[in-house]
Amino acid sequence: MADQADIWNLERAFWLDSPEFCRSHMAQDAQIEFLPPVGRIAAEELQARLAAEPRLALVEFDEAESSDDGCEAVLSYRAAGWGSELRPVVARCTSRYRRESGAWRMVGHHRVPQ
């Protein structure tokens, strides 16, 4: 079983950190799902989108639940985020991680705006 704080810190960094951080902590076969018109996008397309958009300055999680078996982990939560150039973001999210070469890599993320 993984240290839950490590996985939650990684999840928070996906919201706040640079596109380079996201690229280095995401599995190559990752699939990210947003509501239409965006829909499902691959990790490579996500990197281009992140580079073109302002990042959030703060994100808070509540209604958080997680499970892991040491090899895979699933996080489910409600996020509220703010940035200086953005209107507030509120969404219900689920993220999946897989341990690869001793490190956690995101393999999936699903976000539904609230």
| DSSP code string of 48-104 | HHHHHSPPPSEEEEEEEEEEE-SSEEEEEEEEEEEETTEEEEEEEEEEEEEEETTEE
Residue 86: band (very low, low, confident or very high) from pLDDT cuts 50, 70, 90? low
pLDDT at 15 over 80: yes
Task: Tell me 37's DSSP state.
Answer: T
Model-level pTM? 0.89
**Among 71, 77, 63, 65, CA closest to 111:** 77
Task: Tell me 47's DSSP state.
Answer: H
State mean pLDDT over 31-59. Answer: 85
User: Quick check: helix, strand or coil at residue 9?
Assistant: helix
